[in-house]
């Protein structure tokens, strides 16, 4: 996977970050090699739980130093990144994949000419077995960076049951969408064992919906959305992409299939995903 020069080794010897023009709170560059041959560290992580305002204070200057912010959930049953078995060496490069092709492959029908399962078809109303294609781009209602900061503050303030003890981390990545692949995150492993393919979708969402990756847990992801769907029809097209990206969002959320799920996306400035 193509990467930028990694500033993290400098943080290992200069925890303050001053050599990179940063003023970092206490934190560490953890050894996540797990015995594997890995030449460079994957992330810096703050020691303390992040408070509102932490993302804004650190994210912009860190980006100028080649490091992008993400909140990591360390309070779940699977712990934090030290126990997540991160494997970036197994990931491909997001830029080598086409978002539409990835989503079409995951739409859920091996042969769209065969009669699909009636129960699954019911979940996918108003769409059928054929992949409907990518949704049109949304209209920006906020600056993507500012929306990411707001979503981060909402996440650390709300302390939802599924995202506890968020610690701010910095990751060397070209763009926010690449963060999961850059650290070798395995959250969607049961859905796709190469998260770079899903990062290609995240890149497309960056371009069309102003998405930024804000939070990662062992198997959860939260993104901010600066150009959310404004109508139910727009939201249904986006919901189809969500089903291909993370089927559990639609089939296990109790909203009554894709159409009910789409109603929750109208105007939503954050999207969360969970892979069983």
- Whether 161 shows a pLDDT value over 80: the answer reads no
- Whether 253 shows a pLDDT value over 90: the answer reads no
pLDDT of residue 209: 98
- Whether 18 shows a pLDDT value over 60: the answer reads yes
Contact 137, 209 (CB under 8 A): yes
**Rounded to an integer, what is the distance from CA 26 to the centroid of its chain?**
25
Q: How sure is the predictor about 1, in pLDDT bands with cuts at 50, 70 and 90? A: very low
- Whether 2 shows a pLDDT value over 50: the answer reads no
- 3 state SS of 226: coil
For the record, the structure tokens of 114 come out as: 């065969």
- Whether 254 shows a pLDDT value over 70: the answer reads yes
**Which residues does residue 270 pair with via DSSP β-bridges, in sequence order?**
224
C-beta neighbour count of 39 within 10 angstroms: 7
pLDDT of residue 252: 85
Report the pLDDT averaged over residues 16-23.
Answer: 93
Q: How sure is the predictor about 158, in pLDDT bands with cuts at 50, 70 and 90? A: confident
**Which residues does residue 166 pair with via DSSP β-bridges, in sequence order?**
73
Rounded percentage of the chain residues whose pLDDT exceeds 90? 75
Average pLDDT score over the chain = 91
- Whether 23 shows a pLDDT value over 50: the answer reads yes
pLDDT digits (tens, 9 = 90+) for 76-133: 788 899 899 899 999 999 999 999 999 999 997 655 566 667 777 888 889 988 999 9
What predicted TM-score, i.e. pTM, was given to this entire model?
0.94
pLDDT digits (tens, 9 = 90+) for 167-196: 999 999 999 999 999 999 999 999 999 999
- Whether 153 shows a pLDDT value over 80: the answer reads yes
pLDDT digits (tens, 9 = 90+) for 46-77: 999 999 999 999 988 999 999 999 999 998 78
pLDDT of residue 234: 98
> Torsions phi, psi of 81, nearest 5?
-60, -20
- Whether 37 shows a pLDDT value over 60: the answer reads no
pLDDT of residue 3: 54
Contact 43, 8 (CB under 8 A): yes
For the record, the structure tokens of 200 come out as: 């290609």
When mean pLDDT is compared across 57-66, 89-98, 157-166, 220-229, the lowest value belongs to 157-166
């Amino acid at each position: 996977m193509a990467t930028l020069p990694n500033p993290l080794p400098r943080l290992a010897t200069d925890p303050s970050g001053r050599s990179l023009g940063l003023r970092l709170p206490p934190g560490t560059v953890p050894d996540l090699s797990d015995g594997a041959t890995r030449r460079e560290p994957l992330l810096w992580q703050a020691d303390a739980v992040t408070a509102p305002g932490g993302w804004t204070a650190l994210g912009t200057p860190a980006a100028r130093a080649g490091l992008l912010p993400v909140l990591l959930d360390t309070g779940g049953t699977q712990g934090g990144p030290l126990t997540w078995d991160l494997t970036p060496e197994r990931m491909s490069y997001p830029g080598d994949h086409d978002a539409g092709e990835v989503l079409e492959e995951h739409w859920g029908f091996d042969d769209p000419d065969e009669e699909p399962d009636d129960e699954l078809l019911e979940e996918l109303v108003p769409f059928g077995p054929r992949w409907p294609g990518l949704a049109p781009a949304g209209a920006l209602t906020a600056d993507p960076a500012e929306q990411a900061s707001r979503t981060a503050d909402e996440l650390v303030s709300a302390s939802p049951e599924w995202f506890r003890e968020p610690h701010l981390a910095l990751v060397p990545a070209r763009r926010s969408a690449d963060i999961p692949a850059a650290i070798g995150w395995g959250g969607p492993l049961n859905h796709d064992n190469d998260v770079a393919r899903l990062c290609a979708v995240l890149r497309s969402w960056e371009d069309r919906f102003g998405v930024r990756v804000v939070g990662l847990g062992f198997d959860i992801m939260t993104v901010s959305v600066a150009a959310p769907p404004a109508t139910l029809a727009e939201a249904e097209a986006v919901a189809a992409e969500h089903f291909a990206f993370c089927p559990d969002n639609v089939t296990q959320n109790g909203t009554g299939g894709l159409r009910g799920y789409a109603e929750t996306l109208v105007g939503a400035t954050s999207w969360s995903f969970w892979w069983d």
